Amino acid sequence: MATPTALTADEAAARLGEFTVVDVRSPGEYAGGHLPGAHNVPLDRLDEAAVALTAAAARRPLLLVCASGNRSATGCDRLASLGVEAAGLEGGTGAWTAAGHPVERERQGRTVWPMDRQVRFAAGSLVAAGFVAGRFWRPAHWLSAAIGGGLVFSGVTGHCGMAIALAKLPHNNRPAEGAVSFEETLIRLAA
């Protein structure tokens, strides 16, 4: 059976055993809850994992997952440019849990906020700071304008520079205690 480019949560759940599931979120987000059996390969490390993902895709189809479906769609496009076919999960883990499907969680004290929440918090804080600072130094209003422009760009293109920057922060890249390392994930995918 051919693999479509995107599957709904129910379609993916019905066929989950057919796929190698790859979660492209940051390790912190992944630890907060992921599809059963998913491997964590952050979007910004897909190129590093290309050989292992190619080997995994030769055995069974890949299903890429993120929080909302945007990063997994980007990952599918990136892998396609490398000659690796992959499907994405429409609506990401949000749609998966909303449909009542189970998630696995890593053992850790605190979970990292989902990336969309981190972006809303950072953008709102910067806009508020620009507004307040602009009361005392008028050019500071440009900070609010720049953040607003970035959010519009993100809405139009589906690519969020702030999310890319936030994903690189240490709290998003700290794997949960006892979690599988990136290197071990590559070995498992290639085997």
Asked whether the CA dihedral 32, 100, 98, 56 is positive or negative, the reply is positive
Catalytic residue among 6, 46, 53, 66: 66
Spatial separation of the C-alpha atoms in residues 190 and 187, rounded to whole Å: 5
Please, are residues 93 and 34 in contact by the beta-carbon 8 Å criterion? yes
Distance CA 74, CA 5 (A): 12
CA-wise closest residue to 85 among 57, 60, 106: 57
70 vs 120: CA distance, rounded Å = 16
The answer to whether 5 and 80 are in contact (CB under 8 A) is no
What ranges make up the beta strands (E) of 24-85? 39-40, 62-65
66 as an active site residue: the answer is yes
Residues designated catalytic: 66
